[in-house]
Structure 1
Amino acid sequence: MSMKRGLSVLLISLMLMPAVSSQGPGLEQPEWNIGWVLEEDTLYMDLDSDTYRYSMIIEFWVDNSRPIPLNVDLDAEFDIDAEMDYPSQVSVGANSNETFEIELTGSGINSDGGFLDAKSNRTLTLNAQEVLGEQNIGSNEIEQILKFSSLHQFTVSFSGDLVANDEIKSGTDEDLDVVITNSGNTIDAISQIDYRFSGCPQMNYAYGGYTNILSDTGADRVTDKPLEKGTAIPDVAYTTMNLEAPSGHPDKSCKFMVDVTSEGNGKTYSGIMEFTVEKIESISNENNEENGDKDTTSDSSDFAVEDNSLPAISSLLCILTVIFSAVIRRNDPK
C-alpha cells in the first residue's frame, strides 16, 4: 500500500515538472534602479550677485526590489570645474528605496575672468555600479542638464582721438567712440541711454555717423542709428559721438557722461570721459605777450648801448679841446 502511494506521488511530480520548468524563463527577475528625486529637464545654478558663486544640492534615489541587500559604487562627473560632495558607495536593504545627495559648488567665472555663458547646457552624469564581492556585475547611469542663472551687467568705456589727446580747442570738434560692453553672462538690451555734459553747459554733442554691434558668434551688425532704447547687445557695441566746443567757450575742465540702463535687471551703468577745453584766443594772447616781451628786451638793450656810449664821447671831446687850446697858445705872439 505504501509502495503504491510512493509511485503515485512520483508520477504526479513528473507530470508537474514540465509545467514548472516552462514558466521559469518567463518570470521577471527582481531589479534595482536609480533616478533623480526632482525630475526636471533643466536645473539652474543660482549665482550670487556679489561673489558669482553657486551652491546647490541634487537628490537621487536608489531602488532595490530584490530580496537581498544591494551595494553600489557611485561616480559623478560634471563637464565644468566644480566641487562635488557625494557618497562613493551606498548600501540599500532588500526591497527598499533610499535617497542620497550630491552637493555641487562652483563659480560662474571662467579662467579669463569673464562669465561662463548662461545659454550653454552643462551635464551632470551619475554612474552606479553594482558590487558583488569585488566584482562589478551591473550598472545604471543617469544625466541631468544644468544651466547658470542669468546675470545682467553693462560696462561703459570710451576710445578714439579725444581719449588720447584729452583736449578740445574752442571753435573745433572731436569724435568720441562710446563703447558699451555686455559684461553679463547672457544677451541684454538697452532700456534707456542718456548723454550729458557736466561742468560745461555750452558744449554740444551729436551722433557721429554709425554704430557697430559685435556678437560673440562673430556676426557683426552695422547701423546708421545711434545706440537707443531697445538696442540688443550680445557682446559689445560702440557708437561715434561728435563733441563740439563753441568758439566762445572759455578754458575749462569738462565731463561727458553716458548712463545706460539694462533691460535685464533695471540697473543703470555709467561712464565718464574727462577732458579740457582750451580757448584759442588765450593761445593768441600768449603769443602776443611773448612777442611783446621780446620787443621790450630789444629796446632795453638799445638804451643800454646808448647809455654806455656817452662817457666815451665826452672823453674824446675833452682831449680834442685840450689839444686845440695848446695849439692856440703856442701860436699866440707875446
Structure 2
Amino acid sequence: MAPILPVGAQVDAPSWELGWESDVEDGVILNLDGNRWSISHTLEVWIANNRPFDLEVEMELELPSDVPVEAEIDSPVSVGANGNVTVEITFTGTTADDVRAYAPASAFVLTVIATEASQTNSGSTQDIDADLELPRVHRLEPNVPQAPNPFDAGTWIEMTLEINNMGNTRDAVTEAEAEVRSCPQLSVLGLDAVSGTVVEPTGVGGQGPTEVTVRLEASSSHPGRTCEIRFIVTSEGDGASRSTTIEVDVNAADPDEVIGDVNDVGTSDSTTQEEAGALPLPTSVLFVALLLAVLRRPIPSDEA
C-alpha cells in the first residue's frame, strides 16, 4: 500500500544548479597583451533549472580588492522550466601600470555567487570559484640613451648601453652582441661581461634600466666614415633577441700623426715621436768629435 501523505505536506521541488562551463580545474591564466598591458578574457558558467517553473537568479562576482582585474556578468538571469542557460563572465584590466606591476603567476580567487530571486527573501544561494592568474611577460630591449660623439681613427671612446626589462617579471641576459656594418676596422668591446646580468622590470617600483659601458675602438687606418652599430640582446625568459641600431662618425687620422703600426688603436701624439727620434744636434756633434779623437791618438811604441 502506498504511503498516505498528511494534509499540507509538500514534495521538495527539484533543485537548480550552478557550474562551470569553462575548464577551470587547473586554474586559469588570463589573456594579457604584453604591449598594451590590457586584459581580455572570458569564462562561462551554466545554470540548470530542474524545476517545472521558471527560475530567476541574481548573479554576483567577488575578486580580491588588490588585483588589477575587473569582471562583469549579466544579472539577473532567467532560466525557463526544465531548462539551462550559459552566462559569460568578461575580464578586463584596471590600468596598464597596475596590470604590469602586479606580481605574475600569483593566483587569486574569483567567486561566482548565484542567488534565487524570491519575494520572501528566502531564496537559495549557490557559489563556485576558480583560481586566476596573470601570465609572465618577458621582453628585454637594448637602448642607447645618447648617441656617441664623432671620434678619430686610432682612438677610442666609451658609450652607455641601456638594457630595459619591459616585461613584468625578473629576466636575465643570455647573450649580448654587436654587429658593425660598413666599418670592419671598428671594434665594440665590453659586451661579454653582460651575459648573465639579471634585469628587474624597468619602471616598476622606481626601477631604472641596467646600464653597461661599451668601448668603441677604431684602428689608425680607419677611413673617415659613418658606421652603423646594431646592439642585440637575448632574453633568458622567452629566448627572443631584440635590437637597437645607432650611427657613429669616425674621422680619418692625419697620416703625419700616426705612430707605429697603422692597425694600432690609441691616442696619437706626434710630440712623443719627435722627442724619441734623435739626440739634440750639439750633443751628436760632441759625441762624434770625441770618437775621432780616440781613434787618431797615436799608439805609444815600446822603448828599446
Same fold (TM over 0.5): yes
| 2:186 aligned to which of 203, 212, 235 | 203
Work out whether 1:178 is the aligned partner of 2:161. Answer: yes
| 2:74 aligned to which of 71, 87, 90 | 87
- Give matches, 1:67-146, under 5 Å: 70-78=55-63, 79-82=67-70, 84=72, 86-92=73-79, 98-106=84-92, 110-111=96-97, 118-133=104-119, 135=121, 137-146=123-132
In percent, how many aligned pairs have the same letter?
27
- 1:88-121 CA distance string (max 9 Å, x none): 0124467x57342224253697148958653343
- Give the greater-gyration-radius structure (CA): 1
Work out whether 1:227 is the aligned partner of 2:194. Answer: yes
| 1:242 aligned to which of 188, 211, 215 | 215
In 2: Cα distance, 1:255 partner to 1:129 partner? 67
Deviation of 1:75 after TM superposition, in Å, equals 1.9
- Point out where structure 2 has 5 or more consecutive residues left out of the alignment: 202-208, 258-304
Deviation of 1:280 after TM superposition, in Å, equals 5.5
**Match of residue 298 from structure 1:** none
- 1:23-45 CA distance string (max 9 Å, x none): x9xx9997655332334241122
What SS does the corresponding residue of 1:132 show, helix, strand or coil?
Answer: coil
Paired residues of 1:253 and 1:277 also in contact (CA < 8 A): yes
Q: Name the amino acid aligned to 1:73.
A: E
Q: Over the residues paired in the alignment, what is the CA RMSD in angstroms?
A: 4.1
- Give matches, 1:233-312, under 5 Å: 233-235=199-201, 236-279=209-252, 281=254
Go from structure 1 to structure 2 and tell me whether the alpha carbon gap of 1:39 and 1:254 turns closer, same or farther (over 3 Å shift). closer
| TM-score (normalised: structure 2) | 0.60
Go from structure 1 to structure 2 and tell me whether the alpha carbon gap of 1:175 and 1:132 turns closer, same or farther (over 3 Å shift). same
75-84 or 243-252, which deviates more: 75-84
In 1: Cα distance, 2:99 partner to 2:43 partner? 27
In 1: Cα distance, 2:256 partner to 2:92 partner? 60
Paired residues of 2:147 and 2:246 also in contact (CA < 8 A): no
In 2: Cα distance, 1:166 partner to 1:88 partner? 64
Go from structure 1 to structure 2 and tell me whether the alpha carbon gap of 1:255 and 1:189 turns closer, same or farther (over 3 Å shift). same
- 1:298-330 CA distance string (max 9 Å, x none): xxxxxxxxxxxxxxxxxxxxxxxxxxxxxxxxx
Q: Name the amino acid aligned to 1:180.
A: I
**Match of residue 324 from structure 1:** none
Deviation of 1:186 after TM superposition, in Å, equals 3.9
What SS does the corresponding residue of 2:104 show, helix, strand or coil?
Answer: coil
In 2: Cα distance, 1:33 partner to 1:231 partner? 53
Work out whether 1:35 is the aligned partner of 2:19. Answer: yes
Q: Name the amino acid aligned to 1:203.
A: L
Deviation of 1:156 after TM superposition, in Å, equals 1.1
In 1: Cα distance, 2:18 partner to 2:92 partner? 25
Deviation of 1:274 after TM superposition, in Å, equals 1.8
| TM-score (normalised: structure 1) | 0.56
Paired residues of 2:37 and 2:99 also in contact (CA < 8 A): no
Q: Name the amino acid aligned to 1:125.
A: T
What SS does the corresponding residue of 2:151 show, helix, strand or coil?
Answer: strand
In 2: Cα distance, 1:282 partner to 1:99 partner? 87
Paired residues of 1:156 and 1:271 also in contact (CA < 8 A): yes
In 1: Cα distance, 2:84 partner to 2:255 partner? 86
122-131 or 49-58, which deviates more: 49-58
- 1:16-63 CA distance string (max 9 Å, x none): 9xxx9xxx9xx9997655332334241122345777655443122335
In 2: Cα distance, 1:137 partner to 1:277 partner? 82
What SS does the corresponding residue of 1:226 show, helix, strand or coil?
Answer: helix
Go from structure 1 to structure 2 and tell me whether the alpha carbon gap of 1:199 and 1:62 turns closer, same or farther (over 3 Å shift). same
- Point out where structure 1 has 5 or more consecutive residues left out of the alignment: 1-15, 209-224, 285-334
In 2: Cα distance, 1:102 partner to 1:278 partner? 66
Go from structure 1 to structure 2 and tell me whether the alpha carbon gap of 1:262 and 1:97 turns closer, same or farther (over 3 Å shift). farther
Deviation of 1:157 after TM superposition, in Å, equals 0.5
What SS does the corresponding residue of 1:156 show, helix, strand or coil?
Answer: strand
Higher helix share: 1
| 1:166 aligned to which of 139, 142, 149 | 149
Paired residues of 2:147 and 2:247 also in contact (CA < 8 A): no
In 2: Cα distance, 1:57 partner to 1:40 partner? 16
Deviation of 1:253 after TM superposition, in Å, equals 1.6
